[in-house]
C-alpha cells in the first residue's frame, strides 16, 4: 500500500481557466479511483466525484488506476461558424490530459479535461490496445456531486422524449414531483423517480448558475442524470439497448464530452460556446449551399386540427404501392392540397419569406401512427390532390423554396432503405431542406429513441443528407450536442416541447425563458414561434387549447431563441389581421454577426440583442416568464451613431390568458447611450428592430 499511497500523492492535478476563475482538480483517490472536482471563484461547484465505467464482462474501469502521465496545454483560437449567434467563436481553454493505466488489467484509459472561462468539458478516451479492444459498457459511473439542495429546472429522464414542461424545484423535491411531471407523450419511457435530462439547469443558494450537459454525442448513448437525492449527487445514466447493454465500444474511441457551465451571472450560461467548441471543426468542404432561412408552413392548421395530414377515411389501412388513392373518397379535410399550398406560397412570397414547409403531402398518413407499421411512408408519392410538379414550378416562380417533410413514424429501417431515393427525389424537385420526424415508438418495438443504435442513425441521416447538399431539421431525434458545428447542414432540431404543445393543452408561460438555458445549450431549436391567435377553438371548435403567451412574447422568440431556421407558424389569415405586428417577423433576421445577453434568469426572463450578419441591423428580444416585470436594457451594444428603433411591446392590459393580443408598436430614435425600460406582461415580452437613422 506504500506504493499506492505514493502514487496517489503524485496524482493530484489541477488546471485553471484562462480567466483564473474556474479550477478543475483531478486525483486518484483511495484504491486508485479517479475523481474530479470543480471550483469557481473559490466556491465548490462539483465536489469530488467518481468517474469510470462498469463493463459487461464483469470488470470495471473505476479503480486500481495509476497515473502514467499528466500533461497540460493551452489553446486560443477563433473559428467561423457557417451560421449562428456570432460570426466568430473564440475557443480559449486550458487542457489537462490524464493518462491512466489500470494496474490490475494493464488497460489504458485517458481523461481529457478542458477548462474554459465559464465551463469545464471532459471526456474519456481509450487508446487502441489489445487489453481493451472491444468492450461493452453497462454503466457509466461519472458523477456530478452538487454542494447542496440546489434549485433545478428539470424535465423527467426519458429514453424516448424530451417533450416535457419544465419543473422548477429543489433537488430534494424532484422525487415527489416526478409522477406529476411525466405528462403524456406518443412515445415515452421513464426510468427512475429521480432521473432527469440534460441540459440540466441549476442554481445554488450562494448564487451560482450551473448547467450540466454533454457535447459531441457520437456513437454513444444519450446521457441522463440520476440523482441521489440524499447526497445531491448525479450519476450518468445512459440510454440502454433492449438487452440492457449501454454502449458497444472499440478502441481507439472516446465518449462524448461531459460539460459543466458555471457562473454567478446567468447570462454567461447563455453566452457560453463550450458545446460548440468541444465539437470537431466542420467536416463539410463546401458549405455554400447551407442557407439559414425564414419559413412558413402548411402545418399549424393540422396541429390545431383545422385540417388533417391524411386524405381519406375510406380505407381500413394503407398498403404502399398497392392502395389506389384514386379509388378512395377524400374526406375533404386534407391540408396539403394544391390550392391551399399555393395560397401559402402567395402569402410567403408576398411577405418576403424564403421557404415553405408542407406536411401531409405524401401518402400514408391514414394509418401512420401506433401500428408498428414497417413500410409506413415511401417519401416520394404525393397525394392525388397535391400536384407536386405544379407546386414545385409555382414556388420556383414565386421565389419560394419548398421544404420537404419526412415523417418516419420511427420506422427507421424503412427510412434508411428509402433514404437515397427520398433525397434524390428532393433534389430533383428543388427541395434543399428536410424536416424529418420520429414520432411514436421505434419500430420494431422494444428499442428506444436515444440509445447508441439510434443516436447513430440520426447522424447517419445528417451525413447522408450532406452528400446530397440537403439541410436537416430533425424532430423527435436525440437532443443536440453541438454537432451542428461539424455538420452545419444540421440546421435544426426539435428535441424539446415545441410550440405545437400550445395546441395540445398549452405550455407553461415561462417555457421559452428556460429553453435557452437547457435545450438550446446543445444547438438551435425549430421551436416554430409566431403564434398570434391564442384561442385554438377559432381554428378547431373541438380544440380548447390556449397559447400561453402574449403576441409580443411570440415576437421576442425570433431573437431570444436563435436558430438559422425560423418559422412563422401561424396561419396567413391570422397574420393578415395583425400586419403591423407581423412586420417584425418580416424584418427579423436569422443569422448573426454578434449577440449580447442583456438580462437572464432561468424560466423568468431572457433578453438578447443581436446584430444581423453582414448588415447594419440590430434586433432585441425580451422574453418574459409568468411574472410581469420591467426590463431595463442599455443599447450600448450599438456602435456610435443614430438609429431608429421600432418597439413591439405588451400593451398595458396584456396578459397571456386575459389579453394576449394587446400590444403597442412605437418608433423611437435611439443611440448607444439609450436606456430602455419596458414593461412586460405575464407570459409577455417585447421585440425591437433597430436600423441606422
Kindly determine how many residues on this chain lie close enough to bind a second copy according to the rule CB under 8 A: 33
Query: Among residues 16, 21, 87, 129, which is the contact residue for a second copy, using CB under 8 A?
Result: 129
Binding flag, residue 315, a second copy (CB under 8 A): yes
Asked if residue 356 lies in contact with residue 342, where contact means CB atoms within 8 angstroms, the answer is no
CB of 467 to a second copy, least distance (A): 12
The answer to whether residue 500 is catalytic is yes
Binding flag, residue 661, a second copy (CB under 8 A): no
Ranges assigned E (strand) in 80-219: 89-102, 107-115, 119-126, 134-140, 143-145, 151-154, 167-170, 195-197, 200-203, 209-215
Query: Among residues 128, 231, 397, 693, which is the contact residue for a second copy, using CB under 8 A?
Result: 128
Among the listed residues 27, 407, 500, 533, the single catalytic one is 500
Query: Which helix (H) or strand (E) element contains residue 269?
Result: helix 266-271
By beta-carbon proximity to a second copy, the closer residue of 317 and 667 is 317
Structure-block grid coordinates of residue 510: 415561462
Query: Among residues 173, 245, 378, 587, which is the contact residue for a second copy, using CB under 8 A?
Result: 245
Asked if residue 490 lies in contact with residue 480, where contact means CB atoms within 8 angstroms, the answer is yes
CA distance 28 to 36: 9
CB of 241 to a second copy, least distance (A): 6
Query: Among residues 3, 20, 42, 134, which is the contact residue for a second copy, using CB under 8 A?
Result: 134
DSSP state of 177: H
Query: Among residues 317, 324, 630, 653, which is the contact residue for a second copy, using CB under 8 A?
Result: 317
Query: Among residues 184, 243, 285, 677, which is the contact residue for a second copy, using CB under 8 A?
Result: 243
CA distance 314 to 305: 19
Q: Is 43 exposed, middle or buried (0-12, 13-18, 19+ CB in 10 A)?
A: middle
Binding flag, residue 446, a second copy (CB under 8 A): yes
Cβ atoms < 10 Å from Cβ of 387? 17
- Per the document, the length of the chain is 693
Binding flag, residue 378, a second copy (CB under 8 A): no
Q: How far is CA 563 from CA 106, 464, 479, 642, 684, in A?
A: 47, 22, 15, 28, 20
Structure-block grid coordinates of residue 484: 451542428
Query: Among residues 187, 251, 429, 489, which is the contact residue for a second copy, using CB under 8 A?
Result: 251
Contact string 332-361 vs a second copy (x = CB under 8 A): ------------------------------
Structure-block grid coordinates of residue 215: 457535447
CA distance 453 to 68: 34
Asked if residue 493 lies in contact with residue 519, where contact means CB atoms within 8 angstroms, the answer is no
- Strands 223-228 and 471-475 turn out to be unpaired
Query: Among residues 89, 372, 646, 664, which is the contact residue for a second copy, using CB under 8 A?
Result: 372
Binding flag, residue 546, a second copy (CB under 8 A): no
CB of 660 to a second copy, least distance (A): 41
By beta-carbon proximity to a second copy, the closer residue of 7 and 328 is 328
Q: What is the distance, to the nearest Å, from the Cα of residue 353 to the centroid of all Cα atoms in its chain?
A: 23
Query: Among residues 59, 287, 456, 674, which is the contact residue for a second copy, using CB under 8 A?
Result: 456
CA distance 362 to 648: 39
- By three-state DSSP, how is residue 522 classified? coil
Binding flag, residue 314, a second copy (CB under 8 A): no
Binding flag, residue 316, a second copy (CB under 8 A): yes
By beta-carbon proximity to a second copy, the closer residue of 19 and 420 is 420
Cβ atoms < 10 Å from Cβ of 104? 11
By beta-carbon proximity to a second copy, the closer residue of 242 and 614 is 242
CB of 66 to a second copy, least distance (A): 21
By beta-carbon proximity to a second copy, the closer residue of 228 and 245 is 245
Query: Among residues 79, 191, 425, 460, which is the contact residue for a second copy, using CB under 8 A?
Result: 460
Binding flag, residue 439, a second copy (CB under 8 A): no
Asked if residue 626 lies in contact with residue 510, where contact means CB atoms within 8 angstroms, the answer is yes
By beta-carbon proximity to a second copy, the closer residue of 107 and 306 is 107
Catalytic residues: 500
Q: State the residues that interact with a second copy by CB under 8 A.
A: 128-130, 133-134, 136, 241-243, 245, 248, 250-252, 315-317, 319, 367, 371-374, 413, 416-417, 420, 444-446, 453, 456, 460
Amino acid at each position: 500500500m506504500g506504493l499506492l499511497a505514493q502514487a496517489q500523492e503524485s496524482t493530484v492535478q489541477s488546471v485553471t481557466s484562462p480567466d483564473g476563475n474556474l479550477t478543475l482538480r483531478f486525483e486518484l483517490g483511495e484504491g486508485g479511483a479517479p475523481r474530479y472536482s470543480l471550483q469557481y471563484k473559490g466556491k465548490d461547484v462539483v465536489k469530488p466525484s467518481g468517474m469510470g465505467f462498469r463493463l459487461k464482462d464483469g470488470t470495471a474501469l473505476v479503480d486500481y488506476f495509476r497515473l502514467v502521465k499528466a500533461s497540460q496545454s493551452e489553446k486560443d483560437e477563433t473559428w467561423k461558424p457557417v451560421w449562428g449567434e456570432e460570426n466568430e467563436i473564440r475557443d480559449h481553454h486550458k487542457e489537462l490530459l490524464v493518462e491512466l493505466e489500470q494496474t490490475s488489467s494493464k488497460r489504458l484509459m485517458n481523461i481529457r479535461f478542458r477548462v474554459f472561462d465559464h465551463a469545464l468539458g471532459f471526456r474519456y478516451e481509450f487508446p487502441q490496445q489489445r487489453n481493451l479492444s472491444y468492450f461493452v459498457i453497462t454503466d457509466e459511473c461519472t458523477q456530478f456531486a452538487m454542494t447542496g439542495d440546489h434549485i433545478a429546472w428539470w424535465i423527467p429522464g426519458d429514453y424516448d422524449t424530451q417533450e416535457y414542461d419544465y419543473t422548477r424545484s429543489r433537488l430534494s423535491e424532484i422525487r415527489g414531483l416526478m409522477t406529476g411531471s411525466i405528462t403524456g407523450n406518443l412515445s415515452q419511457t421513464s426510468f427512475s423517480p429521480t432521473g432527469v435530462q440534460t441540459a440540466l439547469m441549476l442554481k445554488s443558494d450562494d448564487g451560482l448558475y450551473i448547467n450540466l450537459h454533454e457535447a459531441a454525442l457520437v456513437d454513444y448513448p444519450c446521457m441522463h442524470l440520476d440523482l441521489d437525492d440524499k447526497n445531491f449527487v448525479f450519476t450518468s445514466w445512459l440510454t440502454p439497448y433492449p438487452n440492457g447493454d449501454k454502449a458497444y465500444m472499440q478502441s481507439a474511441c472516446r465518449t462524448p464530452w461531459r460539460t459543466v457551465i458555471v457562473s454567478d451571472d446567468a447570462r454567461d450560461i447563455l453566452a457560453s460556446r463550450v458545446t460548440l467548441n468541444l465539437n470537431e471543426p466542420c467536416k463539410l468542404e463546401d458549405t455554400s449551399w447551407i442557407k439559414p432561412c425564414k419559413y412558413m408552413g402548411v402545418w399549424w392548421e393540422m396541429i390545431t386540427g383545422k385540417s388533417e395530414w391524411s386524405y381519406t377515411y375510406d380505407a381500413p389501412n394503407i398498403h404502399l404501392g398497392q392502395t389506389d388513392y384514386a379509388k378512395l373518397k377524400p374526406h375533404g379535410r386534407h391540408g396539403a392540397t394544391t390550392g391551399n399550398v399555393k395560397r401559402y406560397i402567395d402569402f410567403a412570397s408576398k411577405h418576403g419569406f424564403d421557404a415553405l414547409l408542407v406536411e401531409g403531402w405524401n401518402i400514408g398518413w391514414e394509418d401512420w401512427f401506433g401500428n408498428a407499421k414497417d413500410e409506413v411512408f415511401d417519401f416520394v408519392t404525393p397525394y392525388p390532390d397535391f400536384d407536386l410538379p405544379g407546386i414545385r414550378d409555382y414556388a420556383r416562380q414565386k421565389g419560394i423554396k419548398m421544404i420537404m417533410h419526412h415523417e418516419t413514424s420511427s420506422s427507421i429501417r424503412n427510412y434508411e432503405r428509402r433514404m437515397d431515393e427520398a433525397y434524390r427525389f428532393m433534389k430533383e424537385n428543388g427541395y434543399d431542406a428536410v424536416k424529418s420526424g420520429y414520432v411514436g415508438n421505434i419500430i420494431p418495438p422494444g428499442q428506444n429513441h436515444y440509445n447508441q443504435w439510434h443516436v447513430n442513425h440520426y447522424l447517419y441521416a445528417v451525413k447522408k443528407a450532406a452528400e446530397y447538399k440537403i439541410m436537416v431539421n430533425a424532430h423527435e431525434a436525440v437532443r443536440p450536442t453541438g454537432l451542428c458545428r461539424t455538420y452545419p447542414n444540421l440546421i435544426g432540431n426539435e428535441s424539446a416541447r415545441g410550440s405545437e404543445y400550445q395546441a395540445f393543452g398549452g405550455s407553461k408561460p415561462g417555457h421559452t425563458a428556460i429553453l435557452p438555458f437547457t435545450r438550446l445549450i446543445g444547438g438551435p431549436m425549430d421551436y416554430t414561434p409566431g403564434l398570434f391567435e391564442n384561442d385554438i377553438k377559432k381554428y378547431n371548435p373541438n380544440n380548447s387549447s390556449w397559447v400561453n403567451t402574449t403576441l409580443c412574447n411570440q415576437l421576442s422568440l425570433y431573437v431570444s431563441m436563435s436558430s438559422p431556421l425560423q418559422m412563422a407558424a401561424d396561419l396567413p389569415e391570422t397574420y393578415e389581421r395583425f400586419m403591423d405586428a407581423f412586420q417584425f417577423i418580416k424584418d427579423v433576421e436569422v443569422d448573426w454577426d454578434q449577440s449580447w445577453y442583456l438580462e437572464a434568469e432561468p424560466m423568468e426572463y431572457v433578453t438578447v440583442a443581436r446584430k444581423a450578419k453582414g448588415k447594419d441591423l440590430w434586433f432585441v428580444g425580451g422574453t418574459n416568464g409568468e411574472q410581469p416585470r420591467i426590463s431595463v436594457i442599455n443599447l450600448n451594444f450599438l456602435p456610435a451613431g443614430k438609429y431608429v428603433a421600432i418597439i413591439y411591446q405588451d400593451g398595458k392590459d396584456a396578459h397571456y390568458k386575459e389579453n394576449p393580443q394587446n400590444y403597442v408598436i412605437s418608433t423611437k430614435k435611439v443611440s448607444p447611450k439609450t436606456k430602455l425600460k419596458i414593461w412586460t406582461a405575464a407570459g409577455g415580452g417585447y421585440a425591437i428592430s433597430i436600423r441606422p437613422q
